[in-house]
Structure 1
């Protein structure tokens, strides 16, 4: 896609599209009016395998790049370790590399130039003495209550939690200063961490940043798209047959727009992707017994869906084929990249084979030939009955050994 110079208003519209909330928008406007590229960072803890839910922030990163922003992707390996040990420290390095491959391929799939995209590994600066000292300084002005509240929707909550869950939000706030950005981007579930950063960074002499928030998009089964529920998410490397099977099982209640994961995926992924790919938003729904429906806005789709003009049996196949088409260039890049394949095996090694079951000694049944045995009452059964009854020599030797005295 050829890069074109766009106005400040157009830049701001692209930056804010599909966002739920923006904090300190004046900071963004001030940078744009200077003609400088807005520096934005988005962090992702390198834990589970990235799934299609990553298209939601991924498409926003693409729009930031299209708006002329400089985008830093923080591959937060240390955060992944701190969040209740979601990722073993031995694997986070490989997982960070896997995420880099995935995010790059995802942005290339929607034909966005990535010359202003930068990947930063968290451990490359978070383990330095300077960062550690600033983290100590920050911890001296943040209470336990505020740190716990900030991470409540992001850090996994467990009974008798470890201290790492309190360090996590402080580091996310401090990263804004060390990455030298104007704004941080994330889901609306990060709002409390963003509010903490806005409040406490100036207390230790660092400037306030803007914050951009995506809404939380429901998964295919209605709730949050979760890596732990295989049916609620579609892996970016799932085959077309697997994509079709999973979307066939997706919850898509007729005439219900609220909480509909299939419609939400169209709104936040498929329509923005079509704009980036073709210059205009367009979503096509072929119908078997009626004319094809063509949508350019989600409002039109929601209205038709609520009126039962757009039905689940038409919407789901259309979303399925559009998603398969979007995944195709990502999977093609994976298939020709030995490095990516090698990293995948190291980052997500297959589970060990289950231990072999010990062979139980089979009961061979009452009719299996056994060594003959004399019973207490003197009778003998089984294959060698004759030998036991009379002996090998017909009993001659036994009779001779008997000492029977004549009376």
Structure 2
């Protein structure tokens, strides 16, 4: 692939890129670039938030470039302050080492092991003496450190910032010096650390690394970034059934974002799915099932993904549902939930329908409908449930 085409593909989904021109120049040098990702093993396993960046690394590998995965077993003992409103607790050496081993194994669910150089930054940072640390710290100013948003905010609010937190981005930057990184990639919350890396590399006589940051994805709650701390994560190590089920639990608003960042579904297909969701031409659940299948397949293979999908349909979608039930025949298109109940489900009045909805007694499949003004576009086979014992199967008219 030509340098220009590589650049076109590599910049997809990027949030920050410093800079496209620099990357194109290095691609034109015709040598494998050294592409760095640093991960701190603050927790023992990886989740789909990490997969966003690992997939971009794999793309670099597919184009013939060398990936350097730095396991921050040293920096994890300091604690990355990125996006934090207070000082983070430090890990012990034992905790960091144990988590690091797990990280390095799980990364190969996405990365090509033969094209990955794994380094632990304790290899060089443990060897630094106090003079080395002071000399490194002298290469960056406090004023520049306070340009970082979270530091600036805490400083203005008279909240504590430890000197150790200033040292974290310098330690991460020194990693880039040691491995001679051409490119550093990571989540967009790492942008400041990467900028420090560019400056420190220049201080050591190297070309400044190119920066490519990617979006952070929200977790299953749909609001906070995916994190074990928030218990909203989907782990690489989840069973196929758990992984599939967790993906099905994400809010509909995340379907397209997950597709773009976590699958190889083509841009054309994703654009079509996005249009269908916006125009209500399809039930978002059906597209989410495709998403859940695709991601589960990546980590567990086709057969396990099929089994997980079948399990979900059997146990969750049709939970406690009788085999025989009355059918409601509907024309294609939207229908109001109150109209559905009052006109088709033998509810005595529209006021009674509204009361049932507001009390949480109405579900479509396994999803409660709480908005009396909700407009629904129902698919063949959907189940309307009223209370505990009244069920209706939706049948679309030809």
Q: Tell me which residue corresponds to 2:298.
A: 326
Asked whether the 8 Å contact 1:11–1:68 carries over to 2, the reply is no
* 3-state SS in 2 of match to 1:115: helix
Change (3 A) 1:137 1:300: farther
Asked whether the 8 Å contact 1:18–1:268 carries over to 2, the reply is yes
The separation in 1 between residues aligned to 2:30 and 2:293, in whole angstroms, is 40
1:146 and 2:147 matched? no
Q: Tell me which residue corresponds to 2:183.
A: 183
Shift of 1:190: 1.4
The one-character-per-residue Cα deviations of 1:119-174 (angstroms, maximum 9, x if unpaired) are: 000101112238x6554223124233432544838xx9994343221111111122
The separation in 2 between residues aligned to 1:310 and 1:86, in whole angstroms, is 48
1:15 and 2:10 matched? yes
Change (3 A) 1:307 1:135: farther
Shift of 1:65: 0.3
* Bigger mean CA offset, 54-63 vs 189-198: 189-198
Could you state the TM-score of these two structures normalised by the residue count of structure 2? Answer: 0.66
Change (3 A) 1:86 1:304: farther
The one-character-per-residue Cα deviations of 1:299-327 (angstroms, maximum 9, x if unpaired) are: 32222221122432212222222222122
Asked whether the 8 Å contact 2:177–2:200 carries over to 1, the reply is no
Q: Tell me which residue corresponds to 2:100.
A: 96
- The 5-angstrom pairing of residues 206-225 of structure 1 reads 206-223=206-223, 224-225=225-226
Could you state the TM-score of these two structures normalised by the residue count of structure 1? Answer: 0.64
Change (3 A) 1:87 1:297: farther
Shift of 1:184: 1.0
State the Cα RMSD in Å.
2.8
Change (3 A) 1:69 1:150: farther
Asked whether the 8 Å contact 1:135–1:170 carries over to 2, the reply is no
Higher relative contact order (CA 8 A, sep 6+): 1
Gaps of 5+ in 1: 1-5, 108-112, 253-259, 272-280, 283-294, 333-407
Task: Give the number of equivalent residue pairs.
Answer: 290
Shift of 1:239: 1.8
Please list every run of at least 4 consecutive aligned residues from structure 1 whose deviation after the TM superposition is greater than 6 angstroms: none
2:285 to 307, 313, 317: 313
Q: Tell me which residue corresponds to 1:347.
A: none
Change (3 A) 1:321 1:11: same
Asked whether the 8 Å contact 2:177–2:206 carries over to 1, the reply is yes
Question: Higher strand share goes to which structure?
Answer: 2
* 3-state SS in 1 of match to 2:74: helix
* Bigger mean CA offset, 67-76 vs 219-228: 219-228
Change (3 A) 1:126 1:297: farther
1:266 and 2:259 matched? yes
